[in-house]
Chains A and B, each alone.
Chain A
């Protein structure tokens, strides 16, 4: 229904990549010219900041049937300049300025816990494990804003297959990169580092859960979780751990960062659910990023619009109690 072509939006509403790339090149040029004219390096920093050298490298991708259609994509600039990545500062504009320092090569992902054999995957191996797919997903933040993002990656289940978890493993935990000498902004919040998230095994095996390497057909910029991150489109954004360095298979539900921070406000499941409000604000509606102020507000969809694919995972569960 939502995956598949809806009739109410012409495909021309979606900016094609070439169109978009041209526009971006133009904007960058204009920004650079403007900045030079103003002689303001800060302006240049904001409009076209330094990102790690790899960001922007093209990736070989294939089409996927699991892509969301009929939504206008959020611009590359907004996706890369409006980030929650508290290791690099709590302001939405901080990660683009600060995350350049994250060393994305060499990079390995440790596989630990209830597996046949602990292993370490090199990022280059991961990139070649399966064909990389273009997958457009809605992204809904717990703060009630949303985007539509063309990710690049393959189903997390493909990777989990390679990890050979034991049948005892009921949960999978992800750990993000943490080095306080690199991420000098971690004391802007009172979070316990490293950032960690987790999924129930059957959630992780759902084909929509994406092991993600890219964005708009290119390598992820650091602020979006380079070089590899998780994307779980039917859950609030914070469930999608960035820049992961370890994957652990466990029998018991792992602690997760935001739930440790405030268990009443952030549960383990954190499925997008318009009928269960955050204790302090409503989740019924959301603000679409990149729209003019009078056109941002829209209804939030159950499971972020992916109910057909994932509602079965929660059959018989009280979603109010398991928020």
Chain B
């Protein structure tokens, strides 16, 4: 891929990643977030987090399946960081609009509400990944350890989807499509690993 295309694609990715927050800010300023603005903010930030996490998890399997797409790696960090950015906005929405900055209310929510507990766990899992996202941190940790640490993203994704299911009313199936996609992406890893080993074995034989 040449440089111009890359810069162009990166710019577009930035715009796409910033669009949801731009829409929220515009809606908040003009009071046009619909009948239940609090829910609209929670939903938009939560769903964007989940989408970005899913996209970032799609990159490795896609590269393995289609070596021509190996340039996708240049976008993974950006998607991951934006996922954390939206997760933090989502968390702050809860802090500000659900608990009204009341520490007791936050504590009791975290202890008593399992959907909040796993949500916080998801955020806590994403935090060290964000903190070690710089080139300096990768060098410092060494590729192997960095890779091992960043496997945490699988657990963060699982926590996120469980959080989603626990939040909706029983019987509501809205989280289903996202769950299927994430399951496929997570299952693709061992499957592709086996597939690759076989190919290597065949090539060696």
Contacts and interface: CB of A to CB of B under 8 A. Distances in A.
Nearest to A74: B35
Contact of B35 (A78, A143, A261, A280): A78
Interface in B155-202: 166-167, 169-174
B35 A293 contact: no
B31 A188 contact: no
B92 interface: no
A256 to B, nearest CB: 13
A285 to B, nearest CB: 8
Contacts of B100: 297
Interface string A243-286: 00000000000000000011001000000000001001110000
A265 B172 CA distance: 14
Contact of A282 (B37, B41, B97, B113): B113
A49 to B, nearest CB: 14
Interface string B113-144: 11100000000000000000000000000000
A296 B113 contact: no
Contact of A143 (B113, B166, B169, B171): B169
Interface residues of B, number: 27
B152 interface: no
A280 B171 contact: no
Interface of A: 77-78, 81-82, 90-92, 142-143, 145, 188-191, 261-262, 265, 277, 280-282, 287, 289-294, 296-297
A80 to B, nearest CB: 10
A281 B170 CA distance: 13
Q: Chain B CB within 10 Å — which of A77, A78, A261, A280 has the most?
A: A280
Nearest to A192: B171
B97 A289 contact: no
Given A282-B113, A287-B38, A297 B97 contact: yes
Nearest to A238: B169
B171 to A, nearest CB: 5
B171 A189 contact: yes
Given A188-B174, A261-B171, A262-B171, 7 more contacts: A145-B36, A188-B172, A189-B171, A189-B172, A190-B173, A261-B170, A287-B36
B171 A296 contact: no
Contact of B31 (A280, A281, A292): A292
Interface string B84-110: 000000000000011010000000110
A280 B97 contact: no
Interface in B1-54: 28, 31, 33-39, 41
21 contacts: A78-B35, A82-B34, A188-B172, A188-B174, A189-B172, A190-B173, A191-B171, A261-B171, A265-B170, A280-B113, A281-B115, A282-B112, A287-B39, A289-B35, A291-B37, A292-B31, A292-B37, A293-B33, A294-B97, A296-B97, A297-B97
Contacts of B34: 82
A6 to B, nearest CB: 24
A280 B109 contact: no
